[in-house]
Structure 1
């Protein structure tokens, strides 16, 4: 999702039957604490709706609440640090975002989604790239609000000297690919590393322009990051000198950004 565009759409959206907005931290010391927070927050909100003495509105709220609770429980294994929900009986407003970032717990029932907190988070964590850099392999993660929006892998074909682009490649596959290259071509890699990184940089810059990144985080060897940085036009926000290539992408983002 291009969040800036979607936020504009949400800003203009409404539902006369009501919209439920939830911001909820889901990473707690107690495993099920978020469920208690959810229950209490929705209960207080229902009391607020009851006070309006509109039976039709109360019915709408309870219907939406029931569906939201069901989906949250079904997706509890996908929980990260927080969840943001915009939900209504109108299918045009039905969104669940699992974030790597903490939020201020909030529950709201109005005729439009309350997006102010999400806008603040977007300003704090704008679109950026996370680059897991290895000698012949690069995984680029397009992130929005601390979420992984897209994965792109660039793998070097040592024989042809060309970088190939792949999308949606599993973590295990990208590690195996890189390891095989290292075993077979280590000497050639060391000799030609500078030239290959110089060829990689324009591919990253092009992706950065497409995704409108404010900059990139480079994860990996400081020497490789420094060499790549010589040719990048994209701003380098930070270099993280760790090997995180064995982690799932959402955990990489949590480690680097969250």
Structure 2
């Protein structure tokens, strides 16, 4: 289920009586100056304790029991992921287990806790709008790297390289940095030769890879498309793709870490 479907499902949730919905946005960002000492642990502990104390004072035994069931599951999730925190946690839960949505996210959150009839979705929707499912295409003359991201988190990375032996693009996975225009037989063009060959064939090269990228954009439901690279190859690729390009960033980042690419694209 994609995020839009999950949000729609959560929008339809309404509980009555003692079986309410717990909503949590927890800022665990280690780069936040206010989190240097792991203060989020205190906020988390206090947030749960405040609800429990309120329900104990209210003497609503059934609602207290439901909250304590939710609290137990939430604490287990947080403890179980303590070594793998990113920048925040978004969580929705009910005692009857009809709702359980728990995600670690790579975006900073405002810490909030709610125990109400409906899940509080404002921050989740805002993040969905700010960081939609995107395809980021990093391009050089004979190399293309695609970074797929959702909610500012990397979902997949694929690489394409033009093979002079087969006169076609080949796809591979995993970190890779080949010599320019390295063929499958191991022959590489001399650098002074390559520039001439690129100029003579760039239209055909990018025309042949554009359908592969368009198909991936459709199959993976990209909402936004960004092209990153030097002016000539980025413009050439834009002209060949059917999928509209939302933004072009004229900066060579093909060999940069994916996290740095996301910072450049989303700011």
Q: Same fold (TM over 0.5)?
A: yes
Match of 2:139 in 1: 133
Do the aligned residues in 2 keep the contact of 1:98 with 1:147 (CA within 8 Å)? no
1:242–1:108 CA distance, 2 compared to 1 (3 A) = farther
Q: For 1:1-258, what aligned pairs fall within 5 Å after superposition?
A: 1-13=1-13, 17-27=19-29, 28-29=32-33, 30-165=36-171, 169-170=173-174, 172=175, 175-176=176-177, 178-179=178-179, 181-182=181-182, 184-185=188-189, 187-188=193-194, 190=198, 191-233=200-242, 234-239=244-249, 241-243=251-253, 245-247=255-257, 249-250=258-259, 252-258=261-267
Q: Deviations over 1:30-88 (max 9, x none)?
A: 14122222222222233344354222322232232232223223323432322211233
Aligned residue pairs: how many? 251
Q: Deviations over 1:214-235 (max 9, x none)?
A: 4322233343223222223322
The runs of 5 or more residues in structure 1 that have no matched partner are none
SS in 1 for 2:146: strand
Q: Following TM superposition, by how much is the alpha carbon of 1:13 offset from its aligned partner in structure 2, in angstroms?
A: 3.6
Counterpart Cα distance in 1 of 2:179 and 2:21: 50
Q: Following TM superposition, by how much is the alpha carbon of 1:22 offset from its aligned partner in structure 2, in angstroms?
A: 0.9
Q: Which moved more, 1:229-238 or 1:181-190?
A: 181-190
Counterpart Cα distance in 1 of 2:12 and 2:161: 42
Q: Following TM superposition, by how much is the alpha carbon of 1:96 offset from its aligned partner in structure 2, in angstroms?
A: 2.4
The runs of 5 or more residues in structure 2 that have no matched partner are none
Do the aligned residues in 1 keep the contact of 2:132 with 2:224 (CA within 8 Å)? no
Counterpart Cα distance in 2 of 1:98 and 1:231: 37
Q: Which structure's CA Rg is the greater one?
A: 2
1:199–1:141 CA distance, 2 compared to 1 (3 A) = same
SS in 2 for 1:230: helix
1:160–1:104 CA distance, 2 compared to 1 (3 A) = same
Counterpart Cα distance in 2 of 1:6 and 1:153: 30
Q: Following TM superposition, by how much is the alpha carbon of 1:116 offset from its aligned partner in structure 2, in angstroms?
A: 2.5
Structure 1 vs Structure 2 CA RMSD: 3.0
Counterpart Cα distance in 1 of 2:148 and 2:167: 25
